[in-house]
């Protein structure tokens, strides 16, 4: 399997799902006459990022993963979002970036060395980076964003989390 298949379509799908959850949150807040912006700084635990940070981290993981696996520099997105609209724009910006990649860009990605400064000069081969860090970290932040919204009353269920299936 080409690592494109495990990254670009998966990241795009779950970022699209995340946009839908934000849409549901805004619609529900509007219907119940409260400010949906309250969710931006809501968190599950005091030592975790708020919704804003979870979305920023999920977006960053998606863009850094494809950049590292393809050997391309990632774009810079400073964490300046403070509103639901700005968070949706961040998601769309990353989805647009993901759309610039092709299967061919991932040739050799399985063995390409992936490293970050925080790894202290160490790194991982691309396949291990994807399996042991990138996908778990991405899904951690997506699940936590979902959980913040769900815990605070947004009507979301498992099928809304999973989203469209590629049925044949």
Structure tokens at 46: 């005091």
CA distances from 128 to 63, 71, 111, 123, 131 (A): 17, 15, 9, 10, 5
Domain boundaries, the chain: 8-161
User: What proportion of the chain, given as a percentage, has pLDDT over 90?
Assistant: 99
Reported as a pLDDT band with limits 50, 70 and 90, residue 1 is confident
**Are 42 and 152 a contacting pair, CB within 8 Å?**
yes
Distance, in Å, from the CA atom of 109 to the CA atom of 127, rounded to the nearest integer, reads: 7
Assess whether pLDDT exceeds 90 at residue 160: yes
Distance, in Å, from the CA atom of 13 to the CA atom of 17, rounded to the nearest integer, reads: 6
Match domain 8-161 to its CATH number in 1.20.120.450, 1.10.3720.10, 2.120.10.30, 3.40.50.11540. Answer: 1.20.120.450
Average pLDDT of the residues in 94-101: 98
Q: Please report the pLDDT score of residue 89 as a whole number.
A: 97
CA distances from 151 to 19, 44, 154 (A): 17, 8, 7
Distance, in Å, from the CA atom of 82 to the CA atom of 140, rounded to the nearest integer, reads: 21
Q: Please report the pLDDT score of residue 107 as a whole number.
A: 96
Q: Please report the pLDDT score of residue 157 as a whole number.
A: 94
End-to-end CA separation in angstroms for the chain: 19
Cα angle value 74/57/59 (rounded, 5°): 50
Structure tokens at 116: 């970050």
SS3 for 50?
coil
CA-based radius of gyration for the chain: 16
Tell me the pairing of strands 113-114 and 124-125: antiparallel
Q: Please report the pLDDT score of residue 12 as a whole number.
A: 98
pLDDT, averaged across the chain: 96
């Amino acid at each position: 399997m080409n690592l494109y298949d495990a990254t670009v379509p998966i990241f795009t799908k779950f970022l699209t799902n995340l946009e839908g959850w934000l849409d549901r949150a805004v619609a529900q807040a509007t219907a119940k006459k409260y400010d949906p912006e309250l969710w931006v700084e809501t968190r599950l635990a005091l030592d975790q990022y708020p919704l804003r940070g979870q979305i920023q981290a999920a977006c960053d993981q998606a863009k850094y993963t494809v950049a590292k696996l393809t050997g391309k520099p990632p774009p810079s997105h400073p964490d300046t979002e403070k509103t639901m609209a700005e968070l949706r724009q961040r998601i769309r910006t990353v989805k647009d970036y993901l759309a610039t990649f092709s299967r061919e860009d991932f040739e050799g990605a399985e063995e390409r060395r992936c490293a970050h400064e925080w790894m202290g000069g160490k790194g991982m081969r691309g396949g291990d980076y994807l399996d042991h860090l990138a996908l778990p970290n991405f899904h951690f932040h997506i699940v936590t964003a979902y959980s913040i919204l769900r815990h605070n009353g947004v009507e979301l269920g498992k099928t809304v989390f999973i989203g469209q299936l590629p049925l044949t």
